[in-house]
């Protein structure tokens, strides 16, 4: 059945109205909090596949937040009665553990789910942002990766359900822009970390922090010399916010990430130092299609959005470790 979201005018005031898909996830929930602080009325849509209501603890107490527990891929249509200014389409599993477990669901939310959100952008005249990923570059031959690089993705490997469905979502977004003249942009997010990540979601930062807190050796895949760039969540949210609300962003693709490239071993050493422990490493075979280098070229975001990451790795990791200590206490 089609979904009709109704928001009574009395709750809207005169502020902007935003819809965030994937609102209960790691990034979605931080974005919701930011938009509420900016005075937006926020509709948060999520089926809680990989997200949690706990992340929306603050938002759920706010009268300018409406939570809609729906599966975007299963809805034939989404309508909204009233005004809608912005659509932030973040719904999709993001960690390798999650998208391997939910491969088909990942492909459906990035294809059918993206279509639902684009149709809503057409019918409401809302500006649209697609949360894409650095994974569209696959295992790149170009370093750092500029937005103009087309990528090197294995189309039927274990990561293809995520990489290729995000590439499809990007193509669909630009096809809708050409056909219907919607105001749309794509943001390619690089590894982001911070409070509210799930300790067991399989990504490298939570893995290593969890192991440091338990006094276990660090699991390092391959030689650990493969690089990643880690951006703190507050910096990423600032970039997302500018990419959709600033002028001259329609039709753009932006890399949002930290050009401070670090090897996985280096990251493990920093986490060990913050915990005041000796780093002990346990080496395991590299998973299939794991990229060897990952580093964004953020020239365009610097120029158009006047944006760059500001949080030093040590500061961001300290905040994340503190949060994980809280989580660990809560879950015994
Ligand atoms: N966190 C990162 O480092 C990173 C990097 C690159 C791209 N991204 C992108 O950012 C977005 C958010 O990532 P995240 O880290 O917050 O992931 P997350 O798994 O924490 O959040 C995704 C949210 O989407 C929801 N969702 C999934 N399928 C849905 C469906 N069919 N209908 C409604 N809701 C659905 C989940 O329940 C979850 O709350 C994703 O699109 C991801 O691809 C994130």
86 is a catalytic site residue: no
- Average of per-residue pLDDT values in the chain: 94
Query: Residue 150: helix, strand or coil by DSSP?
Result: coil
CATH for 18: 3.40.50.720
CATH for 281: 3.90.25.10
C-beta 90 within 6 A of ligand 1:
yes
Residues 74, 106: Cα–Cα separation, whole Å:
12
- Looking at ligand 1, which residue's alpha carbon is closest to its atom 18? 25
Closest CA to 113 of 148, 144, 70: 70
C-beta 93 within 6 A of ligand 1:
yes
Q: Are residues 160 and 210 in the same domain?
A: no
What's the pLDDT score for residue 308?
A: 98
* Residue 201: pLDDT band with limits 50, 70, 90: confident
Q: Are residues 67 and 187 in the same domain?
A: yes
Of 71, 92, 316, the one to substitute when testing ligand 1's pocket (max ligand atoms within 8 A of C-beta) is 92
Q: Are residues 209 and 84 in the same domain?
A: no
Residue 330 has pLDDT above 70, yes or no: no
In a domain, 79, yes or no: yes
Please write the tens of the pLDDT for every residue from 235-274. 999 999 999 999 999 999 999 999 999 999 999 999 999 9
Q: Provide the sign of the torsion angle of the four alpha carbons 132, 135, 309, 144, taken in this order.
A: negative
Residue 127 has pLDDT above 60, yes or no: yes
What's the pLDDT score for residue 327?
A: 59
Q: Are residues 281 and 144 in the same domain?
A: no
In a domain, 115, yes or no: yes
In a domain, 93, yes or no: yes
In a domain, 8, yes or no: no
Query: Residue 71: helix, strand or coil by DSSP?
Result: coil
Q: Are residues 165 and 115 in the same domain?
A: yes
Q: Are residues 162 and 211 in the same domain?
A: no
In a domain, 157, yes or no: yes
In a domain, 283, yes or no: yes
Q: Are residues 95 and 152 in the same domain?
A: yes
What's the pLDDT score for residue 144?
A: 94
Question: What's the CA angle centered on 73, arms 9 and 135, to 5 degrees?
Answer: 110
A 10 A CB-CB count for 192 gives 26
- Looking at ligand 1, which residue's alpha carbon is closest to its atom 21? 25
The alpha carbon torsion through 96, 138, 104, 202 (nearest 10 deg) reads: 0
Q: Are residues 240 and 212 in the same domain?
A: no
Residue 19 has pLDDT above 80, yes or no: yes
Ligand 1 atom index nearest CA of 166: 43
Residue from 99, 162, 193, 241 carrying the catalytic annotation: 162
In a domain, 305, yes or no: yes
Residue 187 has pLDDT above 80, yes or no: yes
Give the total number of structural domains in the chain. Answer: 2
* CA 113 / ligand 1 centre spacing (Å): 12
What range does the domain containing 83 cover? 13-193+230-259+295-311
Q: Are residues 122 and 216 in the same domain?
A: no
- Looking at ligand 1, which residue's alpha carbon is closest to its atom 17? 94
Q: Are residues 117 and 208 in the same domain?
A: no
Residue 12 has pLDDT above 80, yes or no: no
Q: Are residues 56 and 17 in the same domain?
A: yes
C-beta 19 within 6 A of ligand 1:
no
A 10 A CB-CB count for 95 gives 19
Residues 153, 185: Cα–Cα separation, whole Å:
22
In a domain, 3, yes or no: no
For the segment 172-199, the average pLDDT, to the nearest whole number, is 96
Q: Are residues 42 and 165 in the same domain?
A: yes
């Amino acid at each position: 059945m089609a979904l009709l979201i109704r928001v009574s005018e009395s709750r809207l005031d005169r502020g902007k109205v935003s819809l965030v898909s994937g609102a209960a996830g790691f990034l979605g929930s931080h974005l919701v909090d930011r938009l509420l602080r900016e005075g937006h009325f926020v509709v948060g849509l999520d089926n809680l596949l990989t997200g949690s209501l706990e992340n929306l603890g603050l938002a759920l107490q706010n009268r300018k937040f409406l939570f809609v527990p729906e599966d975007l891929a299963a809805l034939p249509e989404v309508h909204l009665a009233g005004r809608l200014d912005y659509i932030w389409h973040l719904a999709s599993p993001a960690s390798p553990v999650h998208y391997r477990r939910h491969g088909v669901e990942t492909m459906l939310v990035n294809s059918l789910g993206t279509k639902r959100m684009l149709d809503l952008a057409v019918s409401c005249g809302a500006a649209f942002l697609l949360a894409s990923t650095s994974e569209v570059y696959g295992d790149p031959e170009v370093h750092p990766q500029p937005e103009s690089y087309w990528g090197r993705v294995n189309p039927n490997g274990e990561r293809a359900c995520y990489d290729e469905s995000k590439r499809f979502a990007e193509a669909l977004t630009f096809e809708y822009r050409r056909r219907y003249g919607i105001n749309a942009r794509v943001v390619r997010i690089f590894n982001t970390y911070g409070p509210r990540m799930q300790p067991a979601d399989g990504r490298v930062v939570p893995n290593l922090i969890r192991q440091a807190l338990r006094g276990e050796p660090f699991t390092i895949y391959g030689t650990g010399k493969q690089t990643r760039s880690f951006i703190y969540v507050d910096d990423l949210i600032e970039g997302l916010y500018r990419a959709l609300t600033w002028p001259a962003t329609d039709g753009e693709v932006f890399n949002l990430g930290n050009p401070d490239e670090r090897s996985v071993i280096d990251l493990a050493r920093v986490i060990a130092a913050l915990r005041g422990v000796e780093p002990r490493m346990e080496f395991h075979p590299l998973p299939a299609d794991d990229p060897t280098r990952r580093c964004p070229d953020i020239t365009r975001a610097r120029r158009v959005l006047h944006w760059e990451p500001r949080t030093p790795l040590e500061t961001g990791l300290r905040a994340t470790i503190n949060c994980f200590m809280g989580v660990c206490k809560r879950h015994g």
